[in-house]
Structure 1
Amino acid sequence: MTISSKVSICVPTCNRPELIVECLDSCLAQTHTNIEILIGDDSSDTRTQRLIEARYAHDARIRYVKNEPPLGQARNVASLFARASGEKISLIHDDDYFAKDGIESLLALWQSHPQLEVAFADQYEIDAQGHVDLSKSDALNANFHRIEPAQGMQQQPGRTGLVQMFPNNGWMANADLVKRIGYRDDVGMCCDYVFGSELCLAASQVYYLHRYVSYYRKTDASISRSTRGSTFAASLTAFEFVSGLSLDASLEPARKLALRRLAPIVVSLYAKNDAPWAALRVALAHLYAYGYGRDARLYYHLSLIARAFVSMRWRGLPPSAPKFP
């Protein structure tokens, strides 16, 4: 029976031994006990390795690998998927953790929907100390279209990925589908979003459960500070990915909704990185993202573009040679 299915919980980790214990203990405490916990460690030292050996050495459910050399985020996750032996796969990052019945709540959906391929639910938002903020949790889920009226089988599975309704972790899916989609290492910090989009686009049945099943830790470490605002920003990669997708006409509104969120961010990135022409082209092509002029951000971004032109001329840089591709 599906309810007894083995679930492979994949935990990529990198230099966070102070947080991974809470993550792993939440996995081991699941009310659904037929699990394996796969850990891929990209850490630059042996602190996590020593911790795992000392604390979990006698628990056969824990399957730990130290990646030497480190694989990087996408290839680390892909290696975990490849090692998974369960019928279902779930992903949880090392600074996040599951509610005690999180796995059981998701897995139970296959009882009512045997052809189900992907399931996800709500995430609590917690701070660095692990404190839950219910109002921020509600806002987090609402911002990504995870609200009570949306609960159930999704009429357009692909839409859930495109509009980022599908979360970065705390989900569950059939192992064969997960392994077929895989994690791409050519999209940088955008690999979570690209995976979620491609997974949902490939699935025929995706279910959203309006229930908290996991905890998402909002810290500086959970967001890439090294790439934000640069030519490697995840938002730019996501924009290029969504813009370049070949989609059925029925999914064009979902693409537009995704680009409504992404386009203004990309305009700002281009303007701040000596690519004013590129910024202007994106802004004019996506005026709907600015309410066709009703959004004050449009005029702020136009001012950024103008300043970029002036600055580049002052520094003797040709504005026709942007740094961005």
Structure 2
Amino acid sequence: MNYAANCAGSPKWHRFPLLSVCIPAYNRPQGLAAAVRSVVVALPREHPDQVEIIITDDSATPTTVAELLAGWSGRWHYQHNLRRLGMVANWNASLAKASGEFILLLHDDDYLLPQGITTILETLSKHGNQFDIFLFGVHLVNPHQRCLRRQIPRRQGWLSPPQALRQLLRHSSFVRFPALIWRRSLLDEVGYFDPAYGEATDLYQWLRCFARKGVYTVPRATAAYTIHDQALTMGMFHAQTLATLGRIFAAAADLSILSLAELQQCQCDFFHQFILAGTWRFLRRGQWQRAQRVYQLLDLPEVMALGRSRRWQALRWLFAGWLWLGTRLV
């Protein structure tokens, strides 16, 4: 059922919503339910026309969403893909259905916090005429929804394109997906997510967007970002990903917004953080051999050519000692 289509003839629905919450789903029915309910439950009743929900389902079997949307009086659209599209194409299919002025891409293993939608709508209503991209904070949670830590911008305000790119290209986790909201018209300017960049396609997308518009940061958490063993990112710590990331940094150089010296330092810090983060994910699970393989990415010629990251040097030494000890105890 397509509620938006059913209501299209009513004058009430001639106005586009302020926000489209796009949820690309894939074989996580419980996660999808949590994501949808986090929007439905929290939306202020007096503003049902400000938010629409778009679900594109790449799962093997369709999901019954009518019960999840019981009581929802806003627009919504559900599409089950007859043939699996794949990760990036499903993201883009969801975005293509959106009609809101702004877009939030909410994966089916993440969800909005109780005051998240209210905070987003208040911010967009106040600053949406001035800025095109907004970055909020997130709670990093485990699969049982226990908060592990918080990642929240330090200040509220606009980062110009050079400032935004320095942050994006220096910190490998600067942007968490459910924390970012952008104007839908940006898709016409920069394009959709590019499948040629695989698992790093989000970084390439943010690079193109930030280079044009910068980003407005808001030091308030609006969403939960789930970290779990089955996350796709667990399998991206290898040399091929570093090669793809290198292509993104080359694209950043072509923009001529940051100097080559700045970009090299950013890339050095980014690669070190990325590799050490992957090492830590396996270390904390006691998977010493996998941790060792990820850590050894630091010895690749393209990484060594960037120099040593003073920002991450102490942690690099710590992990080296930990791995040396662990491989002898196993």
- Cα deviation per residue 1:227-266 (whole Å; 9 max; x = unaligned)? 3344544x44223312442133546536622431215757
Residue 85 (structure 1) aligns with:
99
Matched, 1:154 2:159: yes
Please report how far the alpha carbon of residue 100 of structure 1 lies from its aligned counterpart in structure 2 after TM superposition: 3.0
Matched, 1:42 2:42: no
Please report how far the alpha carbon of residue 219 of structure 1 lies from its aligned counterpart in structure 2 after TM superposition: 0.7
Contact kept? 2:89, 2:195, Cα under 8 Å: yes
Within-5 A mapping of 1:36-185: 36-43=52-59, 45-46=60-61, 49-56=62-69, 59=72, 61-113=75-127, 114-133=129-148, 136-137=149-150, 141=151, 146-148=152-154, 150-155=155-160, 156-162=163-169, 163=171, 164-181=173-190, 182-185=192-195
Contact kept? 2:143, 2:228, Cα under 8 Å: yes
Could you tell me which runs of 5 or more consecutive residues in structure 2 were left unpaired when the two chains were aligned.
Answer: 1-15, 280-289, 325-330
One-letter code of the match for 1:208? Answer: T
> Matches of 1:299 and 1:124 in 2, distance apart?
26
> Matches of 2:314 and 2:145 in 1, distance apart?
39
> Matches of 1:62 and 1:42 in 2, distance apart?
17
Within-5 A mapping of 1:159-308: 159-162=166-169, 163=171, 164-181=173-190, 182-204=192-214, 206-225=215-234, 227-233=235-241, 235-245=242-252, 246-250=254-258, 252=260, 253=262, 256-263=265-272, 279-289=299-309, 297=317
Contact kept? 1:90, 1:173, Cα under 8 Å: yes
The 1:172–1:229 alpha-carbon spacing in structure 2 relative to 1, beyond 3 Å, is: closer
> Matches of 2:221 and 2:275 in 1, distance apart?
32
- Cα deviation per residue 1:163-192 (whole Å; 9 max; x = unaligned)? 442322232111101343311111111122
What is the aligned length? 281
- Cα deviation per residue 1:113-136 (whole Å; 9 max; x = unaligned)? 322100011101111111223xx2
> Matches of 1:152 and 1:121 in 2, distance apart?
11
Q: Secondary structure at the match of 2:207?
A: helix
One-letter code of the match for 2:309? Answer: A
Contact kept? 1:263, 1:282, Cα under 8 Å: no
Matched, 1:27 2:39: yes
- Cα deviation per residue 1:62-94 (whole Å; 9 max; x = unaligned)? 311111211111111111111111111111110
Please report how far the alpha carbon of residue 6 of structure 1 lies from its aligned counterpart in structure 2 after TM superposition: 2.3
One-letter code of the match for 1:69? Answer: R
Identity %, equivalent residues:
20
One-letter code of the match for 2:29? Answer: P
The 1:54–1:213 alpha-carbon spacing in structure 2 relative to 1, beyond 3 Å, is: closer
Could you tell me which runs of 5 or more consecutive residues in structure 1 were left unpaired when the two chains were aligned.
Answer: 305-325
Contact kept? 2:54, 2:76, Cα under 8 Å: yes
The 1:159–1:170 alpha-carbon spacing in structure 2 relative to 1, beyond 3 Å, is: same
One-letter code of the match for 1:286? Answer: L
> Matches of 2:125 and 2:31 in 1, distance apart?
33
The 1:237–1:38 alpha-carbon spacing in structure 2 relative to 1, beyond 3 Å, is: same
Contact kept? 1:120, 1:171, Cα under 8 Å: yes
The 1:249–1:288 alpha-carbon spacing in structure 2 relative to 1, beyond 3 Å, is: farther
Q: Secondary structure at the match of 1:186?
A: helix
> Matches of 1:41 and 1:292 in 2, distance apart?
40
Q: TM-score, normalised by structure 2?
A: 0.72
One-letter code of the match for 2:165? Answer: G
> Matches of 2:229 and 2:140 in 1, distance apart?
14
Contact kept? 2:35, 2:109, Cα under 8 Å: yes
